[in-house]
Chains A and B, each alone.
Chain A
């Protein structure tokens, strides 16, 4: 491994610190005269007990409003979405032993978006355990897409890169097309469709963030229970089985957990591509293949990357905004091609 096991804790601590600083930093960028530190003061002033010791009276109320009701939920949503996509990507790449397995590339994101669209269009409402109908439908749609893609891509017992990509992209395109059709017929609001299929973190507020945070974070934690199994599976499925790993079960758990965390994100932010591809890959280059560090580190780096990309999305042609999915695709597309080229060798 690239780094010593004993340093794993340090690495994660360091990344967490960078993430927290980034949250402060990216929340204020693009707004005149608010300091990063004020973000933390505003947050602390909302926490019971601590708030007695924090005074934010020197801050204009408008600043507080911008940070608290607009920026902060947006940045935190970005962290959650980036972390979910990256961790799912890292886990899938290990599971399929395929460097191209990213939730977007293999059709999960489109499946989730498709499920969500159905829920919106049909106006169904069956919320469960506080998870919204849209999120539930996203999960169902994503599971369906995964099932289809894997069954098409599988050649006897293996899932080769080429068939995985072809099946994933074809399924994605097909679902996206139906989705756009539904939306055009139902809303005539093309901008909305574009933003949904390209992914955006804008204008969501606290409510959706709160509703997906517990399920997302829980599934990310549970995913880490399988790091040993995933590591052993990298040495080959038969070899893992002979070491006592319940390979088929682990596959199902990891697939369902990954699909779940991606669906939660997609149901709020739409389809944001390539994050789950770029981030785990970079982390693997620096930290090595051990899932024990790869999964949590990918989540943290994914969170940081996502809010960076979102900053670019909202500032690059300001006062207009781009869907953040365009930014991730601008980074991710060339990277994807580079990986494809590298894997040919």
Chain B
């Protein structure tokens, strides 16, 4: 059984369709990248997969169960979201934010215990935010905050993590570090990872599968080799490119040609 199954999904914010008849399945333990130009519907798709919007039509199943039939906390124990833009204007500390990730595991009057404490600590260490733990989130950099939000998602202990451009605020070193961490989780814990990402070269390096979105439709999906072709890229991004194999990483790379 696929861990996520989407059937004939349609959705728009107002009258305009943003997701235009999308169907797909994602197998458990896959690392999937969503790529596509600005406004193609990646963020919208990610939020739909987290039940933040109600589709106009179509259904989403998570582990065989319809997504809107889950209790809120139950869903939050299965799926964690790292949104595209996080800004927090209140002076919580890094540790307090990460600890919020434990919310779906706790009943209303239940206290946090030693186990929660360990999970939170590990999440911070894995994301390199442990040293920041007593700092206010209003006083850290955008990239640091991004990592804190990822730590919070890890503290949720989900089996599926949705990330919307998690590397956009990160420097090169932290981009690789976060993607390595995601791949490690993916391999060791069999966590399913779905990530919207603009950097096609990073997507080909890390993904099992790539979904290419354009105008709210999936124009192609499959292994990086299948999807990242000169024809596809030029069609979707309207940009002449060369596609070649990177001899260091052995993954596909693209180079824009009209520079």
Q: Does A158 make an interface contact (CB < 8 A)?
A: no
* Partner-contacting stretch, out of A126-134, A181-189, A225-233: A225-233
Q: Does B250 make an interface contact (CB < 8 A)?
A: no
Chain A residues with CB under 8 Å of B77's CB are 244
Q: Which of B74, B83, B91, B109 contacts A289 (CB 8 A)?
A: B91
Distance from A122 Cβ to chain B, minimum over Cβ atoms (Å)? 41
Chain B residues with CB under 8 Å of A97's CB are 89
* Partner-contacting stretch, out of A44-52, A101-109, A234-242, A302-310: A234-242
Q: Are A238 and B47 in contact (CB under 8 A)?
A: yes
Q: Are B52 and A290 in contact (CB under 8 A)?
A: no
Distance from B46 Cβ to chain A, minimum over Cβ atoms (Å)? 10
| Number of chain B interface residues as a range | 20 to 34
Chain B residues with CB under 8 Å of A243's CB are 76, 100-101, 103-104, 152, 156
Chain A residues with CB under 8 Å of B244's CB are none
Given A1-B91, A242-B81, residue A235 in contact with residue B97 (CB < 8 A): yes
In the assembly, what is the distance between CA of A234 and CA of B138, in Å?
13
Chain A residues with CB under 8 Å of B89's CB are 97
Q: Does A288 make an interface contact (CB < 8 A)?
A: yes
Q: Does A245 make an interface contact (CB < 8 A)?
A: yes
In the assembly, what is the distance between CA of A235 and CA of B93, in Å?
12
Q: Does B88 make an interface contact (CB < 8 A)?
A: yes
Q: Are B86 and A236 in contact (CB under 8 A)?
A: yes
Residues from 236 to 286 in A contacting B, C-beta threshold 8 Å: 236, 238-239, 241-246
Q: Does B17 make an interface contact (CB < 8 A)?
A: no
Q: Are A242 and B76 in contact (CB under 8 A)?
A: yes
Q: Does A2 make an interface contact (CB < 8 A)?
A: yes
Q: Number of contacts between A and B (CB, 8 Å)? A: 70
The chain B residue with its CB closest to the CB of A237 is: B52
Q: Does B108 make an interface contact (CB < 8 A)?
A: yes
In the assembly, what is the distance between CA of A231 and CA of B77, in Å?
19
Q: Are A241 and B72 in contact (CB under 8 A)?
A: yes
Chain A residues with CB under 8 Å of B205's CB are none
Given A241-B52, A242-B76, A245-B72, residue A235 in contact with residue B88 (CB < 8 A): yes
In the assembly, what is the distance between CA of A41 and CA of B89, in Å?
48
Chain A residues with CB under 8 Å of B92's CB are 1, 231, 234-235, 288-290
Contact with A along B61-84 (1 / 0, CB 8 A): 000000000001111110111010
Chain B residues with CB under 8 Å of A228's CB are 103, 108
In the assembly, what is the distance between CA of A1 and CA of B83, in Å?
24
4 interchain residue pairs of minimum CB distance: A244-B76, A244-B104, A244-B73, A289-B90
A–B complex contacts, Cβ < 8 Å, 28 sampled:
A1-B136, A225-B108, A228-B103, A231-B100, A235-B86, A235-B88, A235-B90, A235-B100, A236-B83, A236-B86, A236-B87, A238-B52, A242-B52, A242-B76, A242-B80, A242-B81, A243-B104, A243-B152, A243-B156, A244-B72, A244-B74, A244-B75, A245-B72, A245-B103, A246-B72, A288-B92, A289-B90, A289-B91
Kindly list 11 other residue pairs between chains A and B, CB separation below 8 angstroms, not including A228-B108, A236-B87, A238-B83. Answer: A1-B91, A1-B92, A232-B100, A234-B90, A235-B92, A238-B52, A239-B81, A239-B86, A242-B81, A245-B103, A289-B91
